[in-house]
Amino acid sequence: VLVAVNQTDAEQPFTLRIGGAEAALVMPPQSVASHEIMPGGLCGKKTFKVNDCPQMQKPAPDAFDITPAEIIMRGEKKEGEEISFACRIKNIGSLPTASNATLCVLFQLDGDTDIARATVCIPPLPPGGETIIEANIPFGKKTTWTAEAGWHTFFAVAEIGNCKPEANTDNNRLGTEVYFQNIGG
């Protein structure tokens, strides 16, 4: 789900680009819109006036809360290059994670293609603490992606296991859009 906010008193046009697909959208003044993105493209839209928006879900006062803070891609941003993936995970909660927690991150391309997964046991991650985990389990034969020219959207989806569930999982997905150069022409 993508959430867009327009806090101005005027309509704001913008272009939503997912992989090779684009949608020209307009935000009404003083509004929040959520766009559901599915493998087939942009599927749903809900728009609220700013004063009528649902409250943001906050973690319980005494809980850990992991969130992907950065998708790290190694390799040149041009077609044909092998791109490897890692993710910086942060605990934004008020308690540390459990000592035997298993952290998993799924790396996806353009919203519907699984590239690789990272799965590691982590030491307790204190409030505000961060860790970086590298893709180590392939979908197919490799944990890297052979770059294709054009715009692509990458997602990291984090989960934590072997401990009590997170109080807030709404912030466990991060996306970024990257352009890969066409070297053939």
Q: Is 75 exposed, middle or buried (0-12, 13-18, 19+ CB in 10 A)?
A: middle
What pLDDT score does 143 carry? 93
What pLDDT score does 48 carry? 43
What pLDDT score does 101 carry? 87
pLDDT tens-digit series, residues 87-143: 999 999 889 998 888 999 999 998 778 999 999 998 899 999 999 999 999 988 899
DSSP labels, 9-35: SS-EEEEEEETTEEEEEEEPTTEEEEE
What pLDDT score does 111 carry? 76
Q: Is 7 exposed, middle or buried (0-12, 13-18, 19+ CB in 10 A)?
A: exposed
- Asked if residue 106 lies in contact with residue 117, where contact means CB atoms within 8 angstroms, the answer is yes
pLDDT at 43 over 60: no
What pLDDT score does 55 carry? 42
What pLDDT score does 34 carry? 59
What percent of the chain has a predicted confidence (pLDDT) above 70? 72
Signed CA dihedral, 84, 116, 175, 23: sign only = positive
Distance CA 32, CA 47 (A): 6
